[in-house]
């Protein structure tokens, strides 16, 4: 479903129709490794180990949803804590505002350790409401599958930093995408802990244009 012509703030970007005007703190470059403002967002289909189902951005129930998509790992000692806590605040703000058509997808690039049990415990610790139905932790089958999605499709750079088989960390970028239901990028947030008021407001504006 396309955004209605004449919607407040609706503009036609370089690659597709978007609701929000170009962000002032964005990067204007054709050489960015990740999909940028107004560019098409890749289709993602990954398991949700907690819900024991497969989630696709192109199929029901997400096909008409506005999405917030990011990548993380639950054993991260710093950046991801800020990121997931901020997105949990976004989730809370959207629920309080009665916004039901925005879904958050958090993709782990450490599937070896981020099991369903670990992700459920992490959700509790980060105050993520898994019962609300608008948050999915997605877990690729293995490290190669994670690289295919996170590094190749989303363009988010990460590298494992040595360590032992069970104790290691990653150096990684922190990027969150706001994607409209036509699957074009509306915003790319680069902060470790993006401003929850800004993100929730942006997401609500985009979702409202598609109702």
How are the residues of the chain apportioned to helix, strand and coil, as percentages rounded to the nearest 5? 25, 25, 50
| Interatomic CA distance for residues 44 and 46, integer angstroms | 6
Quick check: 11 pLDDT over 70?
no
Tokens of 112: 């070896």
Instruction: Report DSSP state, residue 6.
Output: T
Delimit the domains of the chain by residue range: 11-22+33-209
Neighbours of 59 (CB within 10 A): 11
Pick the CATH number of 11-22+33-209 from 3.40.30.10, 2.120.10.30, 3.40.50.261, 3.40.50.2000: 3.40.30.10
The tens digit of pLDDT for each residue in 68-95 reads 999 999 999 999 999 999 999 999 999 9
The tens digit of pLDDT for each residue in 125-178 reads 999 999 999 999 999 999 999 999 999 999 999 999 988 888 899 999 999 999
Neighbours of 153 (CB within 10 A): 16
Strands 185-189 and 158-161: unpaired
Place of tokens 């951005």: 57
């Amino acid at each position: 479903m396309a955004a209605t012509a004449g919607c407040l703030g609706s503009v036609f970007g370089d690659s597709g129709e978007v609701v929000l005007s170009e962000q002032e703190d964005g990067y204007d470059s054709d050489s960015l490794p990740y999909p940028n403002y107004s560019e098409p967002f890749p289709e993602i289909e990954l398991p949700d180990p907690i819900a024991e189902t497969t989630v696709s951005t192109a199929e029901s129930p997400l096909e008409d949803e506005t999405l917030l998509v990011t990548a993380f790992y639950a054993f991260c000692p710093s950046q991801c804590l800020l990121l997931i806590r901020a997105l949990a605040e976004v989730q809370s703000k959207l629920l309080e505002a009665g916004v039901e058509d925005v879904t958050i997808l958090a993709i782990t690039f450490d599937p070896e350790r981020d099991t369903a049990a670990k992700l459920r415990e992490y959700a509790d610790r980060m105050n993520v409401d898994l019962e609300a139905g608008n948050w999915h932790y997605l877990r690729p089958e293995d490290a190669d599958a994670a690289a295919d999605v996170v590094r190749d499709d989303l363009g988010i750079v990460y590298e494992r930093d040595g360590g032992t088989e069970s104790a290691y960390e990653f150096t990684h970028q922190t990027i969150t995408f706001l994607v409209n239901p036509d699957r074009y990028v509306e915003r790319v947030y680069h902060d470790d802990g993006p401003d929850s008021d800004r993100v929730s407001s942006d997401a609500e504006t985009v979702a409202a244009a598609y109702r």
